[in-house]
């Protein structure tokens, strides 16, 4: 029997949390995705959605998890000091990040200190360890869970992840900008034959030209990448703060028409492989 492998979304927005009447269905929290691969817990990014995930986990006791950060922009780390398991001495958290000039631990210490935040990193009582790597490296989290990485086109850099388990693969490709012409070959290679591709679709073809150079992509580019790579299912992610529920519902219908099985990510969505 195949091992349990599923993904759950706790935060799906980009740039800044955006609570309000127009974001109730898809949610207003920034990037945070839970992946369960057998008995392993992986957390993709630590945006504001991490606070709610922490509340869910707290009721179940201490955790042992790998936190994979795509990069260190605020919308991807602002949930960390509000993550309940981070204050639990019985919990263990391995924090991974690629291409951090001074190392991920140093960067997070700078973030979690006055006057930016009153609680310094050393007051988070969980057993933290910090794992730096170079984008392109392969991370062997266990004998059964392997993570491939590649660099993304984003200001200050970012890293994409391919999580492989039990012959299946989930890819997390957020905060990247597609080339002016053609496709990013490194992403095509990373997502080849993947079961699920979670992709940065902050923009669409009509509003992207006004944001060229900002380091984000479109759902149309995500479709093209999946078609080229033979990936089975596109999950549109990192929605712009101004993107309303009505717009995302239209996009969900369009994705179903163009690539059946593809969806727009929303908070609480669970996808089982």
* CATH number of the domain enclosing 138: 3.60.15.10
pLDDT at 2 over 70: no
From 140, 134, 215, 205, select the one nearest 174 (Cα to Cα). 215
For the chain, what percent of residues have pLDDT higher than 90?
97
pLDDT tens digits, one per residue of 77-113: 999 999 999 999 999 999 999 999 889 999 999 999 9
Mean pLDDT computed over 155-176: 97
For the chain, what percent of residues have pLDDT higher than 70?
99
pLDDT at 1 over 50: no
Overall domain count for the chain: 1
Per DSSP, the three-state class of 1 is: coil
pLDDT at 74 over 50: yes
pLDDT at 227 over 90: yes
Query: What rounded mean pLDDT belongs to the chain?
Result: 96
CA atoms within 13 A on the CB side of 72: 20
Mean pLDDT computed over 42-53: 98
Stated as kind and residue range, the H or E segment containing 251 is helix 245-258
pLDDT of residue 101: 87
pLDDT tens digits, one per residue of 137-163: 999 999 999 999 999 999 999 999 999
Mean pLDDT computed over 156-173: 97
What is the number of other CB atoms lying within 10 angstroms of the CB of residue 1? Answer: 4
pLDDT tens digits, one per residue of 235-256: 999 999 999 999 999 999 999 9
pLDDT of residue 194: 98
Q: 68, exposed or middle or buried, with CB in 10 Å at 0-12, 13-18, 19+?
A: buried
pLDDT of residue 3: 86
Q: What confidence category does residue 272 fall into, taking pLDDT thresholds of 50, 70 and 90? A: very high
How far apart are the two ends of the chain, measured CA to CA in Å? 13
- Structural domain range at position 214: 5-272
Mean pLDDT computed over 257-272: 97
pLDDT at 221 over 70: yes
């Amino acid at each position: 029997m195949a091992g349990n492998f599923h993904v759950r979304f706790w935060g799906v927005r980009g740039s800044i949390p955006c609570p309000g009447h127009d974001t109730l269905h898809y949610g207003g929290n920034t990037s945070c995705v839970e992946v369960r691969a057998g008995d392993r817990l992986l957390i993709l990014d630590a945006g504001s959605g991490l606070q709610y995930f922490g509340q869910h986990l707290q009721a179940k006791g201490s955790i042992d998890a790998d936190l994979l950060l795509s990069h260190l922009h605020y919308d991807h780390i602002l949930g960390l000091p509000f993550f309940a398991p981070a204050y639990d001495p019985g919990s263990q958290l391995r924090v991974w990040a690629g291409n951090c000039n001074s190392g991920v631990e140093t960067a997070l210490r700078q973030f979690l200190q006055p006057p930016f935040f009153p609680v310094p990193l050393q007051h988070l009582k969980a057993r933290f360890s910090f794992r730096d790597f170079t984008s392109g490296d392969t991370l062997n989290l266990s004998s059964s869970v392997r993570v491939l990485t590649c660099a993304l086109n984003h200001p200050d850099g970012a890293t994409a992840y391919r999580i492989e388990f039990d012959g299946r693969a989930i890819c997390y490709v957020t905060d990247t900008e597609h080339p002016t012409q053609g496709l990013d070959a490194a992403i095509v290679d990373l997502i080849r034959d993947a079961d699920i591709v979670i992709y940065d679709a902050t923009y669409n073809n009509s509003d992207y030209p006004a944001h060229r150079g900002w380091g984000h992509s479109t759902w149309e580019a995500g479709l093209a990448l999946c078609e080229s790579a033979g990936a089975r299912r596109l999950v549109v992610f990192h929605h712009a703060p101004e993107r309303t529920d009505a717009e995302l519902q239209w996009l969900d219908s369009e994705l179903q028409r163009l690539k059946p099985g593809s969806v727009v990510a929303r908070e609480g969505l669970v996808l089982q492989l």
